[in-house]
Each structure stands twice: as C-alpha cells, then as structure tokens.
Amino acid sequence: MPGRTELAAWKALVAHADALAGTHLRELFAADSRRGERLGLEAAGWYLDYSKNRVTADTLRLLLQLADACGLREHIDAMWRGEAINSTEKRAALHVALRAQTGEEFLVDGIDVVPEVRATLERMADFSNRVRSGEWKGHTGMPIRAVVNIGIGGSDLGPAMACEALRHYSRRDLEFRFVSNVDGTDFSEATRDLDPAQTLFVVCSKTFTTQETLANAHAARTWLLQAMGVEHAVSRHFVAVSTNAVEVAKFGVDTANRFGFRDWVGGRYSMDSAIGLSTMLAIGAENFRGMLGGFHAMDAHFRSAPFARNLPVLHGLLSVWNTNFLAIESAAVLPYDQYLKRLPAYLQQLVMESNGKQITHGGRRVEYATSPVWWGEPGTNGQHSFYQLLHQGTRRVACDFIGFRDALNPLGNQHELLLANLIAQAEALAFGKSRQQVEADGTEQALIPHRVFEGNRTSNVLLAERLTPATLGALVALYEHSVFVQGVIWDIDSFDQWGVELGKQLAARIAPELADPKLPLAHDSSTNALIRRMRLRNT
C-alpha cells in the first residue's frame, strides 16, 4: 500500500488546503446562510456543531475519500471482530466489549468475552452495594466512609475524572480520594484526615508492576497496619483491580477481593472495566450501567452510521484536517462545566499516549504530523488565563467547547452566564473583530491593531442536554473513537505506548544511585552532576 502522503486523497487535500488558505470563516458563513445548522450532527445525546471549522463541502468529501483510502471501515470491523489491531503487542483492543448489551457477542481468539465482562460487573455491583449499604465492615466492625483509589495513568485518570464528573450522582457520605504520584505528598495529604478503620483502598493496576502504584500501595498497607496491628486487617481494607492475579496475591490482597479484566483493555481505555470500581462505589451500580449505556450508544452510532453523518468519524477527520493540512499543532478541550474539570487531563492520556507516535504499523517513520498536543481547562476559568493566546496569539489552537443545556446546580442566572460565555468564545474565535469595526468604535489610533481580532480560528462545539452518567459515557466513547479514526489515518498503533519505557528504565537505574553515594556514576556529565547534587542530603 502506498504511504499516506502518496494517496490521491491526501494530495488533493494538500492542494485544497492551499486553495482555501485565503478564505475566512466569515466568507464561508456569508456564502451559506444555513451553514451553522447544516454542519451540525446529533448522536447518542450529543450535538456537534463543526461549522466553525475551516472546511467546505469539498474538504469533507476529500476527508471521507481519505478515510476510505485508508481502510477506515475495515479497521472498525477488525476492532469489532476482536482482531489484534494493537499490532506491536499483538492484541485486540476491544474496550467496546466492556459495554456490550444483551445479545451482543465479542470474540477474542474464538471465545465470547461478554459473559466474563458481565460476571465481573455483577461482582463489582455486589461489592459496591455492600460497601455503600454499610454491610461491608472494616476490620474493627465499622462501615467504610472513605475510598482511596491508588493507581496511575489509565488506572487513575479515568475513575478520577468520572468520580468528579458524576459527583452530582454520588454518595455524599462517602469520601473519594485518588493517589497516583510517587511523591509521598500525594499519599500523605490524601490520607492525613482519614480514619484507617473506615478506609478502603482500591489498588488499580493493569499490570500490578507499576512502580508508583506499588510504592503507594505499600505505603497504604503500612499506614493501615500501624493502626490495626494485625496482618489480616488487610483483607477488609484492600481490594485490587488488575489483570495480574499472581502479583495481586503476592502483594497480599485476598484473591476474592480481586476484580479482573483482560489485556485487550488498554489502560487508557479502561475506565468502564473493573478499573471503574471506585466510580461504581461513588455513583452506584445502576448509574454505572447508565454510563455504560451511554458508551454503547456512541459505539453503536460509530459502528453503523455512514461516515458523512458519523460523529466520531467526522471529529477525528477534522482533527486530521487541522493537524496535517492546516498545520495546527495543538488542541484545547474547554468544558464549560466544573464537574468536567479533570476531563482535559483524562483526554491528554487518551489522545497523546494513543497517537503520540512516529512509526507506522509497517515500521516506517511517518512523513506527516501525528497527534496534536492536547490540553485544556474548564470555562470560564481559562478565559482569564490563556484565551488571550487563543484569540490573538501567533499559534493556532483547535478548540473543543463542551457544554450542557441544563444546570445541575442552578444558581441565579449563572448557568446562562456560563453558556453565554461558551457560545461567545466560539463566535469570537471564528469571526473576530475587523479593523473597520474597531475604528467604528472610536478606538484611539495607536490601540487599533491591538484591538483587532482576526478571527478565522477553528472550533467545535459539543452540546448535550444534561451531564448524566449516560452523556459522560457517550462523550468519552466519542473521543475514544475519534482517536482511533486519527490513528487509522496516520497508520499508527493507537494502543501501544513504547515511548514511556525508557524513562522508567533509567529511573530504576538512578534510584539506587541516589540512595547510595558510593555507587559509581556512568551517565553523561549533566545526569551525573544532577545525581551528585541530589545525593547531598545523604552525605
């Protein structure tokens, strides 16, 4: 197969982007009075307005041709068939099976995995019901009042984001904390006001070999045992979520308290697997099922809708357009909902660990840009921070605005203010304010250039009626599939993460060198000097 840049659709997009370079969004809107509605799409409770992307009907036609030329349909089918689409690790990437509905079958190596998924969900529901009802008691016979999730990356960001996003639906008499960083401050601050007798640790690690998580889990064990005095207290205060039964048992967690999942669930795609146990403890099994229902609704849409009306496909292709043909290097996710404050951090891992790659499935170096840098903050806070750059900076940032029609916490007219700001920002980015308008305001001559907004800046607006478990699930599934679409176009493996290995190996070498000043150092001169400097505390 020819390289991506050799494809006719790719070449046509390059020429098309050139031809469109001088066209402003103002002109595109002026030429089509219904653009704002025509370039809108609804699925699984979400409405996407993509009209403020710098695209025409031709752009969309060519992007869809590119998707066909890259075999997007075949790749989606392969994912659903449980094929080893994670080519470098020779594994399926079948997170869609985690939200399978009655009657659906997902095969991995010829075996339907849905019954096991269902059985795990049942066990999680049973356990969380017992904890939430107070039937599950700690070692001294007291009910659990605090849940501390210990994990990092996908074993932290998903449940941390979901617990925050769905706090409105959560049990307020249970406290939820998340410990991820190997910095002892994280554990110490998370537990300093907790009562060990009423604390449950949920240790989440797909591999159960992750340095940070094991260090924190050992700290938690020590913290608990110092209070309880006896080893068997561990079984009432620790549960583990992992694919690695052997290491869980070695750590001392009762195997009855292990919740499993399979290696075909990537860490950053695992928030709806047993890794979501903390989420279920917070919102209850019914709401967790509601969230899975939302994921599934977006999955079903992604699987069946024609590409031209397919929300994740269009979202992904627009990101490709912005990245490869408009040379936009960064994307901001801007949720206008305080409950979604951890969504940007969650999406950073989902997007950048998935598509921050430069080698194709075939082992060649790509000749085009891959994942943009993702970042973000909730609105309206970001407006008083980095939006200056979004509006007038020299760099272009593609923005995703996210909002909900109904307030979960109505307070005077604050929700209207919130939504007004969201809509206004997208409008300002697209249309800006021309020199003539600024002059007409009677602006002092010297200030005119400073007060001009050139506009023509790209954004998507994603709207739903209300933040619910289901709309959250659908939103996450939308981004998961969008990332997949981008990975297919870029011909990269979106499901491995070799780029995190080298740092881990070097840290494992440096840790003992820091601890023992007598060990000889054989790094480069900078690394050696840094190690020596940080050793000083020991000498």
Site for ligand F6P contains 213 (CB under 6 A):
yes
DSSP string, 399-456: EEEEEESS-SS--TTHHHHHHHHHHHHHHHHHH-B-HHHHHHTT--GGGHHHH-B---
DSSP string, 476-520: HHHHHHHHHHHHHHHT--TT--GGGHHHHHHHHHHHHHHH-TTS-
- Per-residue burial over 58-67, b if 16 or more Cβ lie within 10 Å, else e, is ebbebbbbbb
Site for ligand F6P contains 354 (CB under 6 A):
no
**Which structure tokens are listed for 98?**
């985690």
Site for ligand F6P contains 154 (CB under 6 A):
yes
Strand 107-108 to 46-49 pairing: unpaired
* Shorter beta-carbon distance to ligand F6P: residue 198 or 358: 358
Which of 149, 170, 210, 348 forms a contact with ligand F6P (CB under 6 A)?
210
Site for ligand F6P contains 205 (CB under 6 A):
yes
**Which structure tokens are listed for 49?**
């307005």
Site for ligand F6P in 290-329 (CB under 6 A): none
Span from 170-178, 207-215, 473-481, 523-531 in contact with ligand F6P (CB under 6 A): 207-215
Which of 75, 139, 262, 268 forms a contact with ligand F6P (CB under 6 A)?
268
Which of 153, 344, 403, 455 forms a contact with ligand F6P (CB under 6 A)?
153
Site for ligand F6P contains 207 (CB under 6 A):
yes
Span from 168-176, 204-212, 215-223, 409-417 in contact with ligand F6P (CB under 6 A): 204-212
Q: Cis check for the bond before 468: say yes or no (omega within 30 of 0).
A: no
Beta strands in 44-108 (DSSP E): 46-49, 107-108
Cα atoms in the Cβ-side hemisphere of radius 13 Å centred on 321: 32
* Shorter beta-carbon distance to ligand F6P: residue 159 or 312: 159
Strand 40-43 to 46-49 pairing: antiparallel
Which of 152, 219, 240, 313 forms a contact with ligand F6P (CB under 6 A)?
152
Site for ligand F6P contains 500 (CB under 6 A):
yes
The DSSP letter of residue 86 is B
Output the smallest distance, CB 353 to ligand F6P, in A: 6
Site for ligand F6P contains 217 (CB under 6 A):
no
Catalytic residues: 353, 384, 504
Output the smallest distance, CB 352 to ligand F6P, in A: 11
Residue 239's SS3 state is: strand
CA 476, CA 406: separation in Å to the nearest integer?
Answer: 20
Site for ligand F6P contains 206 (CB under 6 A):
yes
Which of 82, 138, 159, 267 forms a contact with ligand F6P (CB under 6 A)?
267
**Which structure tokens are listed for 521?**
């150092």
Residue of 220, 225, 259, 260 whose CA lies nearest to 239: 259
Which of 128, 155, 482, 494 forms a contact with ligand F6P (CB under 6 A)?
155
* Shorter beta-carbon distance to ligand F6P: residue 352 or 475: 352
Span from 101-109, 151-159, 428-436, 470-478 in contact with ligand F6P (CB under 6 A): 151-159
CA 107, CA 114: separation in Å to the nearest integer?
Answer: 8
Residues found near ligand F6P in the complex (CB under 6 A): 152-155, 205-207, 210, 213, 267-268, 353, 497, 500
